[in-house]
Amino acid sequence: MTRPLLVAYATKHESTHEVAEAIAARLRDDGWVVEVRRAGEVSELDRYSGVVLGSAIYTGRIHRDARGFLEVHADALARMPFAVFAMGPRTTAPADLAASGAQLDRGLRHAPPPLLRTVFGGAVDPTRLRFPYSRMEACDARDWHAIEAWAGEVARAFASVGALSR
């Protein structure tokens, strides 16, 4: 029986969910069977052949549901293909991406090492935020071409280590 890949995500305002869906769509285009679920709602990983975890970065930390996911599923993640993406900076300037990358790495320090990890620019819709964040300037630094390209890298990396969901 074919075991699907899991694309799990942790988000407050749905931007990370949108990126998770785009990654899942690309993986499906490459022939993978994929499920997309909130990280906080995943109780076991036995039924999956690989995992992609996405997390927003808030105030320098990955989302609490992503932290919990990594802690609860550390043993299972160590035995399967595993990749991570984070949504962070308001721009795609190299310094901003590097700073968010360091924050992601801190969040991953106790987790099994992922095959791939990356940071994408984030999105801010101040109309969905509470004061004082509601005064932030709106932005959307998500690079959809980079997201699709990274999903292609994930498909190739998972195939090279024998994930079984194709």
CATH of the domain at 140: 3.40.50.360
What DSSP designation does 134 have? Answer: G
Q: Is 50 helix (H, G, I), strand (E, B) or coil?
A: strand
Q: Positive or negative CA dihedral for 87, 91, 94, 95?
A: negative
Domain-embedded: residue 131: yes
Residue 165 lies in a domain: no
Contact residues for 150 (Cβ-Cβ < 8 A; gap 6+): 23, 85, 116, 118, 120
- What range does the domain containing 11 cover? 5-160
| Domain count for the chain | 1
pLDDT value of residue 163: 63
Cβ atoms of residues 111 and 77 within 8 Å: yes
Whether 166 is covered by a domain: the verdict is no
pTM: 0.92
61 inside domain:
yes
Q: Is position 115 within any domain?
A: yes
Mean pLDDT, the chain cut into blocks of 10 residues (166 residues total): 89 93 97 97 96 94 97 97 93 92 96 96 75 73 96 95 64
